[in-house]
């Protein structure tokens, strides 16, 4: 496990700080159940700035690729991560509730010990689809079923055991 980056979020914005780096997928513990494997790493950049309304916030960019489980065939599905988001920092729950009413703005509570790895993991999880799967016709089981139906169609008029012989040759 690599060293975790922890920032004082409001101080990070006041100083217009910026950090970038790579995080191994092994460090994203909550993401493990959604992944096919834990190979690779993601590149991130986080910057503090004030928005046009002078509210403090964090610009977050995350790039890389992860391997998910296809919900159709349970095989490896390559998913490209390319996220860019701006999170407004609020000081208390009341401000957070007010901003949550606006669906176009994302906000988090400002913290003196904000774990950037957890924040990045949250953003990845929130941006994944509910059921990830290959495009139509790309699943390995669907390709196998299609090949089997082609073999059955070709050999059905021949001998009853011709289908088994054909399958034995392909496998």
Instruction: Give the chain as a DSSP string.
Output: -PPPPEE-HHHHHHTT-EEEEEEEGGG-GGGGGGBS----EEEEEEEEEE-TTS-EEEEEEEEEEEEEEPTTT-SEEEEEEEEEEEEEEESSHHHHHHHHTSTT-EEEE--TTEEHHHHHHHHHHHHS-SS--PPTT--HHHHHHHHHHHHHHHHTTS-TTHHHHHHHHH-
Q: Are 127 and 167 part of one and the same domain?
A: no
How many domains would you assign to the chain?
2
Q: Are 56 and 113 part of one and the same domain?
A: yes
Query: Would residue 104 count as lying in a domain?
Result: yes
User: Is a pLDDT exceeding 60 seen at residue 155?
Assistant: no
Q: Are 139 and 149 part of one and the same domain?
A: yes
Q: Are 42 and 93 part of one and the same domain?
A: yes
Radius of gyration, alpha carbons of the chain? 24
Whether the CB-CB separation of 45 and 20 falls below 8 Å is answered with: yes
Query: Would residue 1 count as lying in a domain?
Result: no
Q: Are 126 and 147 part of one and the same domain?
A: no
Structural tokens at position 145: 């079923």
Q: Are 78 and 41 part of one and the same domain?
A: yes
How much is the pLDDT for 63? 97
How much is the pLDDT for 103? 72
CA distance 151 to 170: 10
Q: Are 41 and 75 part of one and the same domain?
A: yes
How much is the pLDDT for 153? 57
Q: Are 48 and 105 part of one and the same domain?
A: yes
Mean pLDDT along residues 25-46:
92
How much is the pLDDT for 168? 77
Interacting residues of 167 by C-beta distance below 8 A, sequence separation 6+:
148, 151
How much is the pLDDT for 97? 83
Q: What's CA 136's distance to the chain center, in Å? A: 20
How much is the pLDDT for 124? 94
CA distance 12 to 17: 5
Q: Are 73 and 153 part of one and the same domain?
A: no
* Confidence category of residue 146, pLDDT binned at 50, 70, 90: low
How much is the pLDDT for 151? 53
pLDDT tens digits, one per residue of 109-129: 999 999 999 999 999 999 998
pLDDT tens digits, one per residue of 48-97: 999 998 999 999 999 999 999 888 888 888 999 999 999 999 998 888 88
CA distance 16 to 72: 45
Q: Are 114 and 168 part of one and the same domain?
A: no
- What domain range includes position 34? 6-134
How much is the pLDDT for 149? 57
Q: Are 34 and 102 part of one and the same domain?
A: yes
How much is the pLDDT for 14? 94
Q: Are 125 and 52 part of one and the same domain?
A: yes
Query: Would residue 71 count as lying in a domain?
Result: yes
How much is the pLDDT for 37? 92
Query: Would residue 166 count as lying in a domain?
Result: yes
């Amino acid at each position: 496990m690599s060293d975790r980056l922890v920032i004082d979020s409001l101080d990070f914005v006041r100083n217009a700080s910026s950090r970038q780096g790579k995080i191994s997928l092994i460090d994203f513990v909550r993401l493990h159940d959604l992944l096919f494997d834990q190979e690779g790493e993601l590149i991130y950049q986080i910057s503090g700035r004030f928005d046009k309304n002078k509210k403090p916030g964090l610009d977050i960019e995350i790039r890389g690729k992860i391997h998910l489980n296809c919900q159709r065939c349970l095989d490896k599905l390559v998913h490209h991560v390319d996220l860019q988001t701006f999170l407004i920092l609020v000081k208390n729950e009341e401000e957070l509730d007010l901003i949550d009413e606006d669906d176009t703005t994302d906000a988090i509570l400002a913290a003196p010990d904000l774990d950037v790895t957890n924040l990045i993991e949250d953003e990845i999880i929130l941006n994944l689809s509910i059921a990830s799967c290959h495009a139509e016709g790309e699943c390995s089981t669907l390709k196998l079923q299609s090949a089997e139906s082609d073999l059955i169609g070709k050999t059905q008029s021949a001998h009853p055991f011709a289908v088994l012989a054909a399958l034995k040759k392909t496998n």
